């Protein structure tokens, strides 16, 4: 059997609540659901009369994995998967294998151009399905748009300064958070456009924010050197994360939601316990401002990008730096993992991007062709394509293995500061300083 079968059986705690009692307590499996990106099976089960979910991550699954051997191993590792369920699990894994074998070779065309705001845009974000998206602006509003029609659904008004950081609570997609230079964060209903809560407490501009995966908390990062966690239900501040000596400009939760990572202009990255707000450890090694900091899917690695022209890869279990990725001639402006955590991509002010193997830490390929700095980079969900956005007014789609440029998305008249795939990888949105969003399908 492939090595993938054993190391991919990671059972998430993502939506298991604290009311966990004894292991002997009766658990009843209700349903099995497929998760395509990254490959996995979601288990819905009942315990103490409460419906819960957890996942079996199959990050190393590929079309040649021995399904029978893998199912046997799943049964050993997960008591909810009994012998009577083995045929169903086999079918689900085979469906995943079929999906993994269908590599996306989509050719994108311009679907719509939206002049979203009168004043400059700050950010764009998609919901999980790609059915709608949001735009933030210097005009102090956030707007919600229908993807199919390009129509404006709601204008979220109430901030007293630039709306800079915006996010959906994916995968649910029923709430929006907006962070502003007015030092507040607001929580909104996607359905009605009404404001649920205004989170007040920061002493300076909010420049980054994120929902936890369970959609119970919003984290905000500020120029006041702190991050704060807020309770979505009651609108109260849960805790303040204090430890940085300069602005926090990057912030994200890990997959299970029990850790949060912050990157700062003080050249350091701090990992915090999301439940208590306690500082767990500080990653020290970069010698300039941090531009990005994030966990891989299984939370074993942390990737940090910096203005010092390097990315560093850290072991999340022992806080040690396991590699310094040095290939760029200028600042690293963005970096990311693919969904499975096997590949790393870096984007730089030198106008190039790189792809590295997370296992060997070696550079696999170099993406050359942009004529200006690359500020955004992301993998499609399938992991075989990369999307970059550049100051040269174009976005490009690349083959992640060969580095070949497959398509140039042209038409913007100023630099592109934001670009993203939807969850299926068949829609792209680009946001530009020309004040338009373009939808590509």
Distance CA 62, CA 143 (A): 40
Q: At what angle do helices 86-101 and 67-77 cross, to 10 degrees?
A: 130
Distances (CA, A) of 425 to 104, 126, 149, 323: 8, 12, 19, 30
Distance CA 187, CA 179 (A): 9
Distance CA 203, CA 232 (A): 21
Contacts of 118 (CB under 8 A, 6+ apart): 139, 435
Strands 175-180 and 185-189 come out as: antiparallel
The pair phi, psi for residue 414, each rounded to 5°, is -150, 175
Spell out, as residue ranges, where the chain has pLDDT lower than 50.
1-8, 13-24
Distances (CA, A) of 303 to 218, 366, 436: 22, 19, 31
Distance CA 191, CA 26 (A): 38
On whether residue 42 sits in a domain, the answer given is yes
On whether residue 41 sits in a domain, the answer given is yes
DSSP letter assigned to residue 120: P
DSSP 280-341: EEEE---SS-EEEEEE-TTSSEEEEEETTS-EEEEETTT--EEEEE---SS-EEEEEE-TTS
- Reported as type and span, the H/E element at residue 36 is none
pLDDT score, position 12: 53
Distance CA 137, CA 162 (A): 6
In total, how many domains does the chain have?
A: 1
Place of tokens 């009766």: 26
Residue count of the chain? 441
Q: Do the Cβ atoms of 275 and 219 come closer than 8 Å?
A: no
pLDDT score, position 101: 84
Q: What's the predicted TM-score (pTM) here? A: 0.93
Distance CA 295, CA 179 (A): 22
Domain that holds residue 35: 29-55+90-95
pLDDT score, position 9: 59
On whether residue 251 sits in a domain, the answer given is no
On whether residue 389 sits in a domain, the answer given is no
Residue 141 bridge partners (DSSP): none
pLDDT score, position 17: 38
Q: Do the Cβ atoms of 238 and 278 come closer than 8 Å?
A: no
On whether residue 38 sits in a domain, the answer given is yes
154-176 pLDDT, tens digit each? 999 999 999 999 999 999 999 99
pLDDT score, position 18: 36
Within a 13 Å sphere around the CA of 313, how many CA atoms are in the beta-carbon half? 23
SS3 121: strand
On whether residue 44 sits in a domain, the answer given is yes
Distance CA 53, CA 315 (A): 27
- Residue 397 token pair: 């789609």
Contacts of 126 (CB under 8 A, 6+ apart): 132, 133, 147, 168, 420, 422, 427, 429
On whether residue 39 sits in a domain, the answer given is yes
On whether residue 139 sits in a domain, the answer given is no
């Amino acid at each position: 059997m492939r090595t993938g079968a054993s190391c991919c059986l990671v059972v998430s705690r993502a939506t298991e609540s604290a009311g966990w009692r004894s292991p002997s307590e009766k658990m009843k499996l209700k349903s099995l659901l497929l998760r395509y990106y990254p490959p996995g099976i979601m288990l819905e089960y009942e315990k103490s009369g409460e419906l819960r979910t957890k996942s079996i991550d199959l990050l190393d699954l590929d079309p040649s994995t021995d399904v029978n051997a893998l199912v046997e191993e799943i049964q050993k590792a997960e008591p909810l998967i009994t012998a009577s369920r083995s045929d169903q699990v086999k079918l689900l894994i085979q469906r995943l294998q079929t999906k993994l074998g269908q590599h996306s070779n989509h050719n994108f065309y311009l679907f719509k151009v939206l002049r979203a705001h009168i004043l400059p845009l700050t950010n764009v974000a998609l919901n999980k399905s790609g059915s709608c998206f949001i735009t933030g602006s210097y005009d102090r509003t956030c707007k919600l748009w229908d993807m199919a029609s390009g129509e404006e659904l709601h204008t979220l008004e109430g901030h007293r300064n630039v709306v800079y950081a915006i996010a959906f609570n994916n995968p649910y997609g029923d709430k929006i958070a907006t962070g502003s230079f007015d030092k507040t964060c607001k929580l909104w209903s996607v359905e009605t456009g009404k404001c649920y809560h205004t989170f007040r407490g920061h002493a300076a501009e909010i420049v980054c924010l994120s929902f936890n995966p369970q959609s119970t908390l919003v984290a905000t990062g500020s120029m006041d050197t702190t991050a704060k966690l807020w309770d979505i239900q009651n609108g109260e501040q849960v805790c303040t994360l204090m430890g940085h000596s300069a602005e926090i400009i990057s912030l994200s939760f890990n997959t299970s939601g029990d850790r949060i990572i912050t990157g700062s202009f003080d050249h350091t990255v701090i990992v915090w316990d999301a439940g208590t707000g306690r500082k767990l450890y500080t990653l020290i090694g970069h010698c300039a401002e941090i531009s990005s900091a994030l966990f891989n899917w299984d939370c074993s690695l942390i990737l940090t990008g910096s203005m010092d022209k390097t990315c560093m890869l850290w072991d999340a279990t022992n806080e040690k730096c396991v590699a310094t990725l040095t290939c760029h001639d200028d600042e690293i402006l963005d970096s990311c993992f693919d969904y499975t955590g096997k590949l790393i991509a870096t984007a730089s002010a030198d106008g190039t991007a790189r792809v590295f193997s997370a296992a060997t830490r070696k550079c696999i390929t170099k993406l050359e062709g942009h004529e200006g700095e690359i500020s955004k980079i992301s993998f499609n969900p399938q992991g075989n394509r990369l999307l970059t956005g550049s100051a040269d007014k174009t976005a490009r789609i690349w083959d992640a293995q060969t580095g070949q440029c497959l398509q140039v998305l042209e038409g913007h008249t100023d630099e592109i500061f934001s670009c993203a795939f939807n969850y299926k990888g068949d829609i792209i949105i680009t946001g530009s300083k020309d004040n338009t969003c373009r939808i590509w399908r």
